[in-house]
Structure 1
Amino acid sequence: MDTQDKDARLARAYHKMVSRVRSLVGEEESKDEPEVSKGIEAAKQKAVETGELSQEEADRLGEYLRRDLEDAARYLSDTGKALSDWLMLDLELIEEQLLDAFSQVADKTRFELALWAEQARHAQDYQTGEIIGIGTFACLHCGERLHFHQASPLPPCPKCHHTLFQRLKRSEERS
């Protein structure tokens, strides 16, 4: 399988994982562990059981999803603004099913954010090769912005070829 096929398969798996987490959140009555964390673990397990992903791929995508949800939830909690401000994208351009699933899980995550606060501090940077969710990312070297309307692998910066990025929020947008 070539790199493009693998990247497309991982992006589809990320999308499916978001949908699975959305459907699983709220089903569990136990509050011993955050519901979103349980949902991510269950979605990872399902992806491995069905042969969609290897355990390593599922673990990696699970961490990418956890990072995206923590970042979105922190933004929603800290600013009280809409998810569209966090994404810095026109919501009409985003696949409706993915946006709906991500929005519902991010909103649920907002209430669990306190449990993830320490982990979230270390989840700010994004590296080339990671599967990222929808949003706008800036190269930490040159500031070049990349806009994503669906889950995709993060490529090297097209301008300077560096590999570290940060997700931008509307409040961080530069003129």
Structure 2
Amino acid sequence: MSEKENHHGLGERLAEGYHRMLERVRQRLDDIEHDTGPTLKRAIDDAQERATELGELSREESAKVAEYLRRDLEDAATFVSESGRELGNWLKFDWNLIERSLADLFANAVDHTRVELEQFSERAAALGEWHTGEVTAMGTLQCKSCGEELHFHGPGHIPPCPKCHGTTFRRLTDAEQ
């Protein structure tokens, strides 16, 4: 197997891990909705541990995916909270293009995240960069070097920019079209 094929396989594995961990976070948040003790951080930590226990991802991989998930949920919640706009505007494309169950899953997790946004506001403000090799949620990323847009219709591995091979991106919102 070539290095490129191996790298692509790892990206797909991490994207699938992201999706499974997001589902576990949503389930955990549903379970703890009325309990003030557990937080989003704990729900993500639990999903991360479960992915490792089940052998879906290594400990290192699940830690990466958990960080990607935190970043995306915090960024989406910040956008929705600060702008008062809909999550679809953060994604920068129509909900109809997304698998409905995945869209509902992400929206539910964002709603829970928004409740906890006060705790994450400083960290969320420092976020804003996505890098090649990471996994991101659905939405549109723009290359910081050349402006090329990458569209993700589900969790996906971030490749280098197809236009300039740049490796740093920022999320576009509907208002930035």
**TM superposition score category, shorter chain reference:** over 0.9
- Counterpart of 1:162 in 2: which secondary structure? coil
Please give the alpha-carbon distance, in whole angstroms, between the structure 2 residues aligned to 1:39 and 1:162.
33
In the TM superposition, what is the alpha-carbon distance from 1:27 to its structure 2 partner? 2.1
Matched, 1:160 2:160: no
In the TM superposition, what is the alpha-carbon distance from 1:47 to its structure 2 partner? 0.2
1:31 aligned partner: 36
1:46 aligned partner: 50
Tell me the amino acid that sits aligned with residue 124 of structure 1. Answer: G
TM-score (norm 2): 0.92
- The total of aligned residue pairs comes to 172
TM-score (norm 1): 0.94
Q: Structure 1, residues 16-53: CA drift from partner, whole Å, max 9, x if none?
A: 111110000042355345x2111100000000000001
Decide whether the 8 Å contact of 1:144 with 1:157 is kept in 2.
Answer: yes
Decide whether the 8 Å contact of 1:132 with 1:153 is kept in 2.
Answer: yes
Q: Structure 1, residues 97-139: CA drift from partner, whole Å, max 9, x if none?
A: 2111110010111111010011112221000000011000000
Decide whether the 8 Å contact of 1:131 with 1:154 is kept in 2.
Answer: yes
Decide whether the 8 Å contact of 1:44 with 1:58 is kept in 2.
Answer: yes
Two-structure CA RMSD over aligned residues (Å): 1.3
Question: Which runs of structure 2 are paired with 1:103-122 in the superposition (5 Å)?
Answer: 103-122=107-126
Please give the alpha-carbon distance, in whole angstroms, between the structure 2 residues aligned to 1:156 and 1:5.
16
Matched, 1:11 2:20: no
Tell me the amino acid that sits aligned with residue 10 of structure 2. Answer: K
| Seq. identity, % | 44
Match of 1:98 among 97, 102, 106: 102
Please give the alpha-carbon distance, in whole angstroms, between the structure 2 residues aligned to 1:16 and 1:26.
15
Please give the alpha-carbon distance, in whole angstroms, between the structure 1 residues aligned to 2:126 and 2:143.
18
- Counterpart of 1:38 in 2: which secondary structure? helix
1:151 aligned partner: 155
Please give the alpha-carbon distance, in whole angstroms, between the structure 2 residues aligned to 1:45 and 1:30.
21
Decide whether the 8 Å contact of 1:18 with 1:98 is kept in 2.
Answer: no
- Structure 1 residues without counterparts, runs of 5 or longer: none
